[in-house]
Amino acid sequence: MKTASPTTLAAALVAFLSIPALTAVSFAQETRAGATAKLDAEFAASDTNKDGFLSPAEVEARMMRMKMAGGRTLDAVHAKRVAALFMARADANKDGKVSKAESAALMGTVFSAYDLNHDGKVDASEAAKARAAAKAMAQGAPAAK
């Protein structure tokens, strides 16, 4: 069985976590400002102790509540794995928690990667490509260019 590299897993995770903010509206465009506003709301909802940081436990709890295709949620084992991958990617200063600034920086990177024509918006075509890339990476296939 072929295992994905940490970089591939992190990329798949970032794509997976960004899908609600960047691809939720199939027929409209998502602007950077709109995606940032959604991320800010998600951060606030996930920061259950309101300390301004996301702990591994808070991220794991959020992963367990996240709705996936068909209304399914992640089981505890997968939620813990996804949370660990998110923490590894988002916790830039490696202090064991994710600040709002670290979360915003990660979202900015993801938005830039999805905004294929660099117009400051992710349109339906770009969103579809992002969903396809996320699905392919999650299944262990290389990302399409």
Q: What is the pLDDT of residues 62-104, one digit of tens each?
A: 988 877 767 788 788 888 888 898 898 899 999 999 999 999 9
In a domain, 144, yes or no: no
> What pLDDT score was predicted for residue 27?
47
In a domain, 145, yes or no: no
Interatomic CA distance for residues 36 and 60, integer angstroms: 21
Lookup result for tokens 């409209």: 28
Domains: count for the chain: 1
Interatomic CA distance for residues 62 and 83, integer angstroms: 8
Mean pLDDT of 126-141: 73
Mean pLDDT of 96-125: 90
In a domain, 111, yes or no: yes
Q: Which residues contact 29 (CB under 8 A, 6 or more apart)?
A: 121, 122, 123, 124
In a domain, 143, yes or no: no
Q: What is the pLDDT of residues 4-28, one digit of tens each?
A: 444 444 444 554 455 455 444 444 6
In a domain, 75, yes or no: yes
CB-based contact 124:35 (threshold 8 Å)? no
Residue 109 vs residues 11, 14, 76, 79, 90: alpha-carbon distances, Å = 11, 9, 28, 23, 11
In a domain, 49, yes or no: yes
In a domain, 88, yes or no: yes
In a domain, 67, yes or no: yes
Give the pTM. Answer: 0.74
Interatomic CA distance for residues 17 and 27, integer angstroms: 20
58 pLDDT band (50/70/90 cuts)? very high
CATH code of the domain in which 108 resides: 1.10.238.10
Quote the domain boundaries for residue 114.
Answer: 6-138
Q: Which among 11, 22, 17 has a CA at the least distance from the CA of 121?
A: 22
> What pLDDT score was predicted for residue 2?
44
142 pLDDT band (50/70/90 cuts)? low
Tokens of 53: 């940081």
Interatomic CA distance for residues 11 and 15, integer angstroms: 6
